[in-house]
Structure 1
Amino acid sequence: MKLVDDLFEMNGGYVLNFSDRTMGIFFLEELDVDIDDPAYRDNGPSKAKRLRCFLNKVDLGTAVKTLKVLWKYREAVRQSQGREDWVVNAEGQFLSLINRLEGKPEGAGRTNPPPKPALDVQRIAGLKSKLLELSSLAPQPRGYAFEAWLKDAFDCFGLEAREPFRHRGEQIDGSFVLQGETYLVEAKWQSELTGAADLHAFHGKLEQKAAWARGLFVSNSGFTADGLAAFGRGKRVICMDGLDLFDALDRQLPLNHVLERKVRRAAESGLPFERVRDLFA
């Protein structure tokens, strides 16, 4: 709740730039909720006290939906005002809070012990250090170590990672589950940029699998612009490079949210690659 107070400027009894009237309209139109209901005035009538009471009384799904809607409004207002964020790593902290809340077992009551935080700062720092250390390895052991590192990174954010496996002579560098969808992984750490041939080869593997299989191609060195253009739009593959991985860890952005945003952008644009620093500007 301390983080919620800071994110939505609730420490003085206010909530962002809402008046009593506009907050009532917002909750009614966006959430179909009467925030002026006396049931949410247990601790007082101020906007902040009513919101805190509401978040503590409603079910977990409603609380998460409310926070997401408020965050969207917060960012729209902040950006329209050209205002610098007043909370350090606000988006990373907010997404980690959502991870913690959504990570509760189904049906768990509010009296249950809190779940383990989704943002393990020490583990993330360790992943970042190991990623930098991989560059000192020889090419072949570095490739295997990179595959193992990716599994650790996926596991850190609850993505149910599976280790590399071979099927009828075909090497798959691992898999993970995101939003109920299975993604196969292709991982490369080489000196040259990855071109269209490797992307097409990986997409060919996907086409031999179930129709719902998707893919993540991770190239530490990055991708050629011509290769991405030749690979084209509308494929079942999203791409990440080493800078994406480092930016996500350095900014403490949960990897599951990074991938979700890449998937959404790919669905909107048809393009397989968008940098993390542009997705989380």
Structure 2
Amino acid sequence: MSYSVIFIEDEKIVREELVASIRWELLGLDLVATASDGIEGEKLIKQYEPDIVITDIRLPGIDGLTMLSRCPINHAIILSGHTDFNYMKQAIRLGVFDYLLKPIDDVELEETLSNLVKKLEEEDKDFEQLRTTRSVSTSELIPLPHGVNNHVIDSTIGFISQNYSSPVGLQEAAAFLELSESHLSRLFKEVTGLNFLQYLNAWRINKAVDLMKDPKRNIGEIATSCGFPTPGYFAKIFKRFSGVTPTQYRDEHSGK
């Protein structure tokens, strides 16, 4: 299995050098598109919905962080010639995997990509475990812990249950609970076995599955009402959790 990548960099020499030198296939990656500005980058991200986005911060049109905030992003790597703390802080809030300073060293970027691929593979194993441990008797597609006898985690799950249909994430949950994002992230994974985004997406998928029982409901409408930014992103996440597309799932369960 390979993971898709989009690379956005306005410096042509840097872009072409990295495209040619990084051993994409060896790393288990498929470079599906490149762009030289933020506007084109946003368009391509929304079109391909890649697993990984590699981007510079300072881009023509719109900057890289603004571009990322407008798109359904799974994982991103920032390339920048600036050590501005505000940039780094924004990147952390957007869930950026790593922040690399220019000039970019090929070995360092390949090492970062290799670590990110390992993380994606671990997430896929988590998804597979969720699928295989599902009880036939449960109404949920994905079995999730609801009451774990931990006040912080139970409060976080409560926050998710009340806000899953809105564009919320770890940052908003941590602010609501008045905790640091790093502490909440670490504790949530330790207690539930899933990271915050995995749990949030699983909750949204379960809600979507419930809504899909109504044949009159459009899948795109269901995706939006459950907090997914686009129907395409919903379909991608749904397939990672269930192994089939939303349409296939609905067709298979339409008579049940």
Per the TM superposition, whether the score is higher than 0.5 is no
Larger Rg: 1
TM-score where L is the length of structure 1: 0.28
